[in-house]
Structure 1
Amino acid sequence: MIEIVSAAACIACDVCVKVCPTDVFDRGADGIPVIARQSDCQTCFMCEAYCPTDALYVAPVSAPVASDSPHADEGAVARSGLLGGYRAMIGWGRGRTAGALLDQNPLLSEVPPLAEPRLPVPAELTDDPWNHPD
């Protein structure tokens, strides 16, 4: 459930507002998104994943936390490295390694490569949109 929008880190880009599938955010008067419909949050982490400045925190719970919860305390979340932590975990953002490249699943190394490509070789591009011979 979305718990924190860090006004200090937010650049008012509205990406979270646009990617939220359940319209949880409203744009605040200062441009900073406001959690307007928290109960509509599906804990999909899309807003946190797409936030370019790691200004969001989605708690890994499906109901709002109490106001005295450490999940609602921006300072505690930031100190623990969880502010934007989902984005870091999946490897999104400058200087991070994509999560798929870090996968330690031993089964992946046992899958043999394909003998030949599945896709045909692409046709040569020409200036003729209909690819007519001259």
Structure 2
Amino acid sequence: MIELVIAERCTACNACIEICPTNVFERSKAGPPTIARQEDCQTCFMCELYCREDAIYVAPDCENSTPVDEKIILASGLVGEFRRNHGWHEREGDPRYPNEHWRMESVFLRARDLAIVEAENKESIA
């Protein structure tokens, strides 16, 4: 479940808001997005995957919120681990994951757009 948005790292690009399939985040006028609907998080890790600044931590427990200490999580190396393990890590000097063939952004965005259109069509029929 989504647990942290690390303000010091967040650039407020709002990629997490755009990609979240369950609308967990709330856009902020200034600063990072807020976790507004944590209970709606389905623990898909998409927000963590799309966060280029490694400013998001999603705990693996999809049923319950896991209280976390930001300093401990940062020190653990868990922040950004999902991106690294999926080959999306783009930090300079990290040769462990040089390719980005796993990068499926266009596929995910197309699927989201199709789901939106399908939902709108269902609403218009009802």
1:91 match: 87
Which stretches of structure 1, 4 residues or longer, exceed 2 Å deviation after superposition? 98-101
Structure with the larger helix share: 2
2:74 match: 78
| RMSD across aligned positions (CA) | 1.9
| 1:100 Cα deviation after fit | 8.0
1:5/1:33 contact within 8 Å kept: yes
- Larger gyration radius, structure 1 or structure 2: 1
Residue identity in the other structure for 2:66: V
2:65 match: 64
Q: Percent sequence identity over matched residues? A: 50
| 1:99 Cα deviation after fit | 8.8
Structure 1, gaps ≥5 residues long = 67-71, 102-134
**3-state secondary structure, aligned to 1:65:** coil
**3-state secondary structure, aligned to 2:34:** strand
| Cα distance in 2 for residues equivalent to 1:41 and 1:28 | 19
Normalising by structure 2, report the TM-score: 0.70
Normalising by structure 1, report the TM-score: 0.66
Residue identity in the other structure for 1:82: L
| Cα distance in 1 for residues equivalent to 2:60 and 2:39 | 14
1:16 match: 16
